[in-house]
Amino acid sequence: MNPASLGRAQGLNETCLGCVTGNPEVIHMPDLPDLNPVVHGRLRLALLSLLSGVERAEFTWLREKTEATDGNLGAQLLKLEEAGYVAVEKKFVLRKPQSLYRITETGRRALSEYVLTLKQLLGPAIAAQGGR
């Protein structure tokens, strides 16, 4: 088995430094972890972050904080709800509909895992910046 095939068989990616330095040295890097695609969306990440800091939140408060349109906010909250990351309680207050959202334990776990994965991905960059 050649070195490139061996590296791939061991779960390693190859990066050729020769493209930059003119030296055909190949280094092996471990496979990068995947970021959760449900959490990774900018608005969904913002929503989970906001909900993680409160017991529950009204749709209107989330809309104000994220500056999202009603349609986009509703669609992203539905994706989080379908994934089991948020729960919604719909009721009427003085004949007006009110939607209250809260992060679930599954959602809290997914957000924590996302943050840990992001730290793992950014670790070398953070270390290169002196931990800033």
Token code pair at residue 49: 């972050």
DSSP 16: E
CA distances, 7 to each of 32, 60, 76, 126 (Å): 14, 51, 39, 26
Looking at the chain, the whole-number percentage of residues with pLDDT higher than 90 is: 64
- What's the pLDDT band for 29 if we cut at 50, 70, 90? low
Write down the domain spans for the chain: 1-31, 37-110
Name the pLDDT band for 129 (thresholds 50, 70, 90): confident
- Interval 69-80 mean pLDDT: 98
Q: Is pLDDT above 90 for 4?
A: no
- Please determine, for residue 12, whether its predicted confidence score (pLDDT) is greater than 80: no
For the residues 66-93, what does the mean pLDDT come to? Answer: 97
Res 22: pLDDT: 61
23 phi, psi to nearest 5 deg: -105, 120
Residue 132: pLDDT band with limits 50, 70, 90: low
Residue 7 pLDDT: 43
Task: Label residue 110 by pLDDT band (50, 70, 90).
Answer: very high
End-to-end CA gap in the chain: 42
Q: Does domain 37-110 have CATH number 1.10.10.10?
A: yes
Does 39 have pLDDT greater than 80? yes
